[in-house]
Structure 1
Amino acid sequence: MLVFAFAVLAPVLATGAFSLTEWSGFGEMTFTGLGNYARALGDDVFVGSFLHVTVYIAVTIVLEVALGLVLAGVLAARRGGSPWFRVALFAPVMLPMVVVAVLWSFVYNGDFGLVNASLSAIGLDGLTRVWLGDPATALLAVCVVSGWVYAGFYMAIFYAALTQIPPEVIEAARLDGAGEARIFARVKVPMIRNAVEVCLLLCVTGGFQTFDLFYVLTGGGPYNATEIPTTYLTRVVFRDGEVGYGSAMAVLMTAVVVIVGIAFMRLRRDRGAEA
């Protein structure tokens, strides 16, 4: 309890107190009440950052969770496949996110990047662009990198869950004439529903916590097209020196994450009761 109070409770209370003041981190504080919260709710960049992170979460649910589930299904159908194939899919998870971001910044480079070079090689020069510098493609480009990293992580979770399904159930479905695709969709996925729900929760809450990938690849740009709450909050506090305003944004972001988590758990409990 002492460790929790020192490492978690005290910083939370301090952030809440700072959010009611105008403070640069040095000197005297000026009490502003709920002024910082009103300013945050009227800040188009801050409000827009939640839209960006919502889009990011929606896309990564497909690129990470859904793709990981499909890969796990293929591996389970092939009795695990080659160990090197599984290692290759899981390897990106073990790389530091900063390293991943730097590598992909070269892949997306508008002058010598792999993406533009590949498009030019097949005669699609009209599709080449500065992927991280175009507001229309920057957010999607970051989502693709995240999917490349975490699809293997969710694949490992789903594969472990699929291997726990009693083989008698699968054999019974095969005897009834079901193909592998139908067995996967109608038998395997419903039987690992708990793992799917946990992975969805991890993806959603992890999306709100994302920082390093956006910070290194785009820094929130271009023109705030990839600004998310964590990058904007960091810029306000550490670059602009507005600790009070940044603390208010941190409180609002925490409230949103807690509400989403509670809603998800309640929905999961209600579905469990109906089942």
Structure 2
Amino acid sequence: MKSKWALAPYLFLAPALLVFGFAVLLPVAMTVGYSFTEWNGYGEMIFVGFENYITAIGDTVFRDSFVHVLIYIVVTLVLEVAVGLVLAGLVSGVKRGSLWFRVAIFTPVMLPMVVVAVLWAFVYNADFGLLNAALEAFGLAELQRVWLGDTSTALLAISVVSGWVYAGFYMTIFYAAFSQIPTDVVEAARLDGAGEARIFRSVKVPMIRSAVIVAVLLCVTGGFQSFDLFYVMTNGGPYGATEIPTTYLVRTVFSFGNVGYGSAMAVLLTGVIVAIGLVFVRLNGRNGKRDRA
């Protein structure tokens, strides 16, 4: 009887494995294969070996795109994770009406990113945008900018939009983590004379360390996968100031018709993301062993 049912688990897993193989593994394998060729998507496919990878490594636009996305990630770690953590601390301390605050802050997450990008493009508009109008109304006209057309402000402007959207997402994660903290620990801190700010900094945040680590990892890997916000708002401009790897490789494939070179950039980007994830997991594992010791 045991041998009769030995294959049962694999039969149940087979549909999911087939879908995963067809939707994930096959495209990955095809992308790796295309990266060794020179191909425009419909003509003759010419094998070029590692030429696309060598070209990508020497491509200054591609290298600069990683610098831009790293700056974006650093800014969003503050505007999304840190702000979300503070918002969760504030909301968790509200006794009445916290549900409405959470819904209001989380609402931008539910909006399609393309819609968000179009709305904020109007906010940043240099002629009739809300931001420049507000600066003029408050007597700060000298601070007015062509926000999405200025190389010094475009990347920061996009980062602010990302923070506005995802701060509520991370607030929800941290709020759920705060809800799991035993109330007697917080009450003991209050009896010892600790204020709410000290309790938040020294008690609550250390006790949700695992949630903070997950949030940081999500923010870092999600930053490398960003595309729609950059594509709709600036499409890499002005003068490449907001060019990130995803926008550059999509333009390379669909605008320039260079499937092989775009595939090589996609493979390199995937390798960077996987390497960061592995390093992060390794460092987190060492820190966990140190804490247990």
Is 2:290 the counterpart of 1:261?
A: no
Find the counterpart in structure 1 of residue 173 from structure 2: 157
Equivalent residue for 1:130, pick from 142, 146, 151: 146
Q: Matched residues in 2 for 1:83 and 1:248: separation?
A: 47
Q: Structure 1 length as normaliser, TM-score?
A: 0.99
Say if 1:75 and 1:81, in contact at 8 Å, map to a contact too.
no
The alpha-carbon deviation at position 192 of structure 1 amounts to 0.3
The alpha-carbon deviation at position 266 of structure 1 amounts to 0.7
- Structure 1, unaligned stretches of length 5 or more? none
Find the counterpart in structure 1 of residue 258 from structure 2: 242
Find the counterpart in structure 1 of residue 190 from structure 2: 174
Is 2:268 the counterpart of 1:252?
A: yes
Find the counterpart in structure 2 of residue 31 from structure 1: 47
Instruction: After superposing the two structures, state which structure 1 stretch, 135-144 or 121-130, moved more.
Output: 121-130
Q: SS at the partner of 1:219?
A: coil
Is 2:154 the counterpart of 1:142?
A: no
Q: Matched residues in 1 for 2:287 and 2:275: separation?
A: 18
Q: Matched residues in 2 for 1:112 and 1:2: separation?
A: 52
Kindly provide the CA deviation profile for residues 75-108 of structure 1, in whole angstroms up to 9, marking residues without a partner as x. Answer: 1122364322211100000000000000000000
Q: Matched residues in 2 for 1:83 and 1:252: separation?
A: 43
Say if 1:97 and 1:212, in contact at 8 Å, map to a contact too.
yes
Equivalent residue for 1:226, pick from 238, 242, 249: 242
Q: Matched residues in 1 for 2:217 and 2:274: separation?
A: 12
1:55-94 matches, cutoff 5 A: 55-79=71-95, 81-94=97-110
> Counterpart of 1:116 in structure 2: which amino acid?
N
Q: Matched residues in 2 for 1:33 and 1:194: separation?
A: 43
Q: Matched residues in 2 for 1:242 and 1:27: separation?
A: 11
Q: Structure 2 length as normaliser, TM-score?
A: 0.93
> Counterpart of 1:218 in structure 2: which amino acid?
T
Give the aligned length.
275
Q: Matched residues in 2 for 1:6 and 1:249: separation?
A: 22
Kindly provide the CA deviation profile for residues 170-225 of structure 1, in whole angstroms up to 9, marking residues without a partner as x. Answer: 00000111110000000000000010000001100110111000000000000000
Q: Matched residues in 1 for 2:65 and 2:97: separation?
A: 41
Say if 2:92 and 2:98, in contact at 8 Å, map to a contact too.
no
Overall identity of the aligned pairs, in %: 69
Supply the RMSD in Å over aligned alpha carbons.
0.8
Find the counterpart in structure 2 of residue 98 from structure 1: 114
Q: Matched residues in 2 for 1:241 and 1:89: separation?
A: 41
> Counterpart of 2:57 in structure 1: which amino acid?
L
Q: Matched residues in 1 for 2:133 and 2:26: separation?
A: 52
What stretches of structure 1 move > 6 A for 4+ residues in a row? none
Is 2:222 the counterpart of 1:206?
A: yes
Q: Matched residues in 1 for 2:213 and 2:265: separation?
A: 28
The alpha-carbon deviation at position 132 of structure 1 amounts to 0.2
Q: Matched residues in 2 for 1:230 and 1:134: separation?
A: 21
Equivalent residue for 1:51, pick from 36, 56, 67: 67
Find the counterpart in structure 1 of residue 28 from structure 2: 12
Say if 1:93 and 1:149, in contact at 8 Å, map to a contact too.
yes
Say if 1:208 and 1:257, in contact at 8 Å, map to a contact too.
yes
> Counterpart of 1:157 in structure 2: which amino acid?
I
Say if 2:91 and 2:101, in contact at 8 Å, map to a contact too.
no
The alpha-carbon deviation at position 238 of structure 1 amounts to 0.3
> Counterpart of 2:172 in structure 1: which amino acid?
A
